[in-house]
Structure 1
Amino acid sequence: MENRCFWVTGSELYKKYHDDEWGVPVYDDETLFEFLILETFQAGLSWITILNKRENFRKAFDNFDYKKIAKYPESKYESLLQDAGIIRNKLKIRSAITNAQFFMEIQKEFGSFSKFIWSYVNNQPIINKFRSRDEVPATSKISDIISKDLKKRGFKFVGSTVMYAFMQAVGMVNDHTINCFKYIEE
């Protein structure tokens, strides 16, 4: 039996996410946007809640197509509020729409969201060497900076904790503990 990070429960969905996605560097804007949306909806909730609803989010938000989401009319917003398959939080749904608009503004300014976000870590994943749950932080200096920058640009639900979880999810930081089979030594 393979050793996994402390946060992985017995859920097969959690195991698959941990083994196949978490901490794997993501450079395409479409997937980065998907994780940005999922992480903002996760704020205050458990990640397994989001994973269990991920396919519902995918359907409700047009496969996380930020170009479509940025143009959602009020009627689409209202229908999302009625969708029991997702997290029906008015502010989070509204933020998905506005964050899509600001996401595209960053693309215009930097050429891609990927170039923008990965520049915070010099385009290289940070490989941490944590031994236990107690060592893994909820935020970092870099997530603080990213959070402030995104908020200044108009993004919502992008606090430092959300941004650190985003960084972990998209592989900007690799926080697999050293006893985990996914841990990679430099």
Structure 2
Amino acid sequence: MLDSMARVNQLLDHEDYNRYIETINELEKERCFCKHGFEHGINVARIAYAYLLEKGNRDLSKEGVYAAALLHDIGRWVEYQTGEDHAEVSARLALPLLKECGFSSADIQVILAGIREHRRHYEDDLSLLGEALAIADDWARDCRYCSAQKQCYKFKPEMTQIIY
């Protein structure tokens, strides 16, 4: 049986992906707010994919959604060091990884657009993947039970509600 997630597994084994995640983990070691490592990426992937299934998506592959979600924050470490927007950096860093893992040019363009859009919450002109990643990025945070809720600039009471 052909592994339908082979390219995602190749991505997870990629030296550069793992270096980015390790750097993020190190920089966020003392962070009291949500972290942006593998666990966050896989949670975003699961939620985004479920969201797209519930919307009746037939165009975006599971593998593409998971790749986008796992890569959407890999530029966080650059943002911490330079202030550059991590969505743009993540897309830039994702491009060679996606190519090396065998994603088609068409798939790459969709994935990179979703990564770039994941911070533009609830805007009207988002791609379907960008919308799914933006929503899943919020829902993947455990705001309801977070001890840093009062200090968090991202916290909104509606983030503890299940809506869409």
TM-score, normalisation: structure 1: 0.29
Instruction: Report which of the two has the higher share of helix.
Output: 2
Larger radius of gyration: 1
Question: What TM-score does the superposition give when structure 2 sets the normalisation length?
Answer: 0.32
Bigger relative CO (Cα 8 Å, ≥ 6 apart): 1
